[in-house]
Structure 1
């Protein structure tokens, strides 16, 4: 299994433009919440709780993140729990509200992602490796940690492999 640094470095290589990274701070959370909203139906009662496809996917994702690292995995688990809770709340609404909110967030999230990749001048990471879909949310949490001045060791390891964050230089011919 790839390490945390392996996954984040591979993903970071597609995300070195700060405008692209900024777009991911909006787009990825929208997509994650949208997926949990859309997977929150059907729901089945289980021991006084509710179980849905969203809960199962969140549990599997949390397991993946926790296997990579406990600290970031713990943050991801909490964020996934909040997303599942919001999905549950929206799944209790009318079918129109549930579906419209999920689809709208999904479409807006991806539109924002593609704008970011326009600035990057590079396709999204998941096009070359589907694991980019699960690593993306972790990348956002790691980048937030870096912005807050945390995890210098991790940032240095990633930048040693993927390079530093920089604005894309325009080609003189364009």
Structure 2
């Protein structure tokens, strides 16, 4: 199994432009919540917990994150629980509200992602490796931690492999 640094460095190699990273702070949470919303039907309430396909996907993701790194895994699990809460909140609404809310979050989130990759000048990481779809949310949490001065040893190890972040100027195309 790859390590935390392996996954983050591979993902980070596609995300060195600060503008691209900034778009990921908005787009990825929107997509995660959208998936939780869209997979929250069918579902049912059992002892105060909404059981749905979203809960199974979140459980599998939480296990992946915790096995990879306990500290980041706990944060990711809490964020997944928030996403499940949002998913349930929309899943119990009318089909129109549930579906339009989930699809709008999903589409707008991906548009924001692709704007970021336009700045980066590089395709999204998941195009080359589908694992990038589960590493993306972890990357956002890790980047936030790095901005707060946390886990500096992980940041340094990732940057040794992927290089430091930068603000690239777009090359003029004629």
TM-score range, shorter chain: over 0.9
1:46 to partner: Cα distance: 3.6
Could you tell me which residue of structure 2 aligns to residue 128 of structure 1?
A: 128
Residue range with higher mean Cα deviation, 16-25 or 43-52:
43-52
User: Any residues of structure 2 matched to 1:39-50 within 5 Å, and which?
Assistant: 39-47=39-47, 49-50=49-50
Write out per-residue CA displacement over residues 96-115 of structure 1, whole angstroms, 9 at most, x where no aligned residue. 00000000000000000000
Could you tell me which residue of structure 2 aligns to residue 51 of structure 1?
A: 51
Contact 1:35–1:54 (CA<8 Å) still a contact in 2? yes
**Structure 1 pair 133/173, CA: closer, same or farther in 2 (3 Å)?**
closer
Is 1:89 aligned with 2:89? yes
User: Any residues of structure 2 matched to 1:12-91 within 5 Å, and which?
Assistant: 12-47=12-47, 49-91=49-91
Is the partner of 2:140 in helix, strand or coil? Answer: helix
| TM score, norm. by length of structure 1 | 0.96
| TM score, norm. by length of structure 2 | 0.96
**Structure 1 pair 56/168, CA: closer, same or farther in 2 (3 Å)?**
same
Segments of 4+ in structure 1 off by > 6 A?
A: none
Provide the aligned C-alpha RMSD in A. 1.3
Gaps (5+ residues) in structure 2?
Answer: none
**Structure 1 pair 161/44, CA: closer, same or farther in 2 (3 Å)?**
same
Contact 1:121–1:168 (CA<8 Å) still a contact in 2? no
Is the partner of 2:50 in helix, strand or coil? Answer: strand
Contact 1:5–1:157 (CA<8 Å) still a contact in 2? yes
Write out per-residue CA displacement over residues 41-69 of structure 1, whole angstroms, 9 at most, x where no aligned residue. 00034455331000000000000000000
Gaps (5+ residues) in structure 1?
Answer: none
**Structure 1 pair 82/172, CA: closer, same or farther in 2 (3 Å)?**
closer
Contact 1:65–1:73 (CA<8 Å) still a contact in 2? yes
